Amino acid sequence: MMLGKRETGNRKRLVLAVHDVTPAHASKLAQVYSLLAERGLTRYALLVVPDWHGEWPLEQHAGFVDDLLQRQAAGAEIFLHGYRHHEAGFRRTWMQHLGVAGRTAASAEFYLAPPDQAARRLDRGLALFAALGLQPVGFIPPAWLYGPGLADLLRQRNVGLTEGFWAIANLATHRQVFAPALSWSTARPWRSHLTAGIAAVRRVLETAPDLVRVAIHPPDVHVPVVARSLRETRGRLVTMRQVVTYRDALR
């Protein structure tokens, strides 16, 4: 079959997200950024945490914020990603414990926060971003874990774009695009090997879906088996797909 010129317009797409963007991870993030820059990538999502574990308030790290502003100007999309990214101060009920089993050790901040506290943390995060010049396109809760009412809180604040493990979504238009996150785990060596194995299979399988989503966490670059897998996955997907922003993917 002859491939016409229109074929390029139909090229399969890829969204890339860098999670847990905080000055606490500055040196690992620098490595992630250079991994992306090697392929000339600038249109990735940055999931920024306002005050990582209550110890890394963004406003006290001017150089880090300047770097984010430059990346934003170059086409990166900023997402608010929790407030502290830590569930300290909240107690899991037994049912909640079951609900997040295997998903996260202690990052269920916006799953456990009661609506009034979730609202307060959202407002503080959004106000801080506004003061710093960061223009978030959406909100993604830590570990993709949503508490009851969180979607409504986001809609009330015109925070449109979000995602879960299985899909990305625009809360304003109700558009959802199925794209299970391709991510790695560095929590245990066996999990690193397992997720690298899954990535290897998915690199081959995922020629079909219109949209593939890759989630990169800063520790990924420090575990050799994961770093190698990440590099191979990036290499293969970027060759076959066009990197788009979340906004484009949800248009």
Question: Nearer to Zn ion by C-beta: 20 or 77?
Answer: 20
Write down the least CB distance from residue 165 to Zn ion, Å: 12
Question: Nearer to Zn ion by C-beta: 20 or 206?
Answer: 20
> How much of the chain is in helix, strand and coil states, percent to nearest 5?
45, 20, 35
Write down the least CB distance from residue 12 to Zn ion, Å: 26
Write down the least CB distance from residue 107 to Zn ion, Å: 6
What residue ranges bind Zn ion (CB under 5 A)? 19-20, 142
Question: Nearer to Zn ion by C-beta: 17 or 126?
Answer: 17
* Closest of 81, 70, 83 to residue 133, by C-alpha: 70
- DSSP element (H, E) containing 56: strand 56-57
- 3-class DSSP state for residue 183? strand
Q: What is the DSSP letter of 21?
A: E
Question: Nearer to Zn ion by C-beta: 167 or 200?
Answer: 167
Write down the least CB distance from residue 75 to Zn ion, Å: 22
41's CB contacts (< 8 A; 6+ apart) are 16, 238, 243
Could you tell me the two tokens for 19?
A: 């999670």
Write down the least CB distance from residue 155 to Zn ion, Å: 22
Question: Nearer to Zn ion by C-beta: 203 or 226?
Answer: 226
- DSSP element (H, E) containing 57: strand 56-57
